[in-house]
Chains A and B, each alone.
Chain A
Amino acid sequence: DAKTTQPPSMDCAEGRAANLPCNHSTISGNEYVYWYRQIHSQGPQYIIHGLKNNETNEMASLIITEDRKSSTLILPHATLRDTAVYYCIVSDNYGGSQGNLIFGKGTKLSVKP
């Protein structure tokens, strides 16, 4: 079972920042937080991941709380093409988790003009 909890859906106005929350209250010290998104009928797309520190790349920023029990994915200027299902995943990538990402139901983000 997925170790994360995400809202089932969110709306965002085009050009505004989209802030997608994720709760992972049972995360262990060596588990990473990953974010993926899946645009309809395509394969999931890797966005970003982090362990403890906040991370930023060309797609998004990842803010992880100090206690690591929750995180927020930020798309700074959402466009219509960002409409997708966003998945938050935690994994330590060892043992039975090697090469295995457990996807939950994700958050369906709708960006509206």
Chain B
Amino acid sequence: KAGVTQTPRYLIKTRGQQVTLSCSPISGHRSVSWYQQTPGQGLQFLFEYFSETQRNKGNFPGRFSGRQFSNSRSEMNVSTLELGDSALYLCASSRTGTGSSNEQFFGPGTRLTVL
């Protein structure tokens, strides 16, 4: 079974630009979660999608948004980029994200650098 894939793997943007990151979950997984990882704050939850609906959201500003498609693939968007948005963005998928089925499988991440 193919793992979680994320594209692109590396991205360099400048302040004020916007960026879209993509995540393809493991086949059959319907829950997709996004995390931001920085040296200072560690791994922080951004949001989770299930059946094309945002089910949970972390404590990030509205510049961070996402969506999920009918095939469970997900994208996240960051608008008006700031230097502090430089981070590793991780996507994880699980079968349902609920109850006993929330073991999450992570992709390799997208390394975003904002200049």
CB-CB nearest 9 A-B residue pairs: A99-B48, A43-B106, A99-B97, A103-B43, A93-B102, A99-B33, A99-B31, A100-B45, A44-B106
Residue among A51, A91, A99, A100 with max Cβ neighbours from chain B (10 Å): A99
Most buried by B among A44, A91, A102: A44
Q: State which residues 4-55 of A face B: CB under 8 Å.
A: 32, 34, 41-46, 49, 51
A105 within 8 A of B: yes
Question: Which of the four size classes fits the interface of chain B?
Answer: 20 to 34
Interface residues as binary, A50-83 with B (CB distance below 8 Å gives 1, 0 otherwise): 0100000000000000000000000000000000
- A43-B107 CB under 8 A given contacts A99-B31, A100-B48: yes
Query: Which residues on B sit within 8 Å (CB–CB) of A43?
Result: 4, 90, 92, 106-109
**Inter-subunit contact B98/A98 (CB<8 Å):** yes
Q: Which residues of B contact A (CB under 8 A)?
A: 4, 31-33, 35, 42-45, 48-50, 55-56, 58, 88, 90, 92, 94, 97-109
- What is the interface of chain A, defined by CB distance below 8 A to chain B? 32, 34, 41-46, 49, 51, 87, 91, 93-94, 96-105
Whether A98 lies near B55 (C-beta < 8 A) is yes
Shortest Cβ distance from B101 into A: residue: A93
A99 touches B55 (CB 8 A): yes
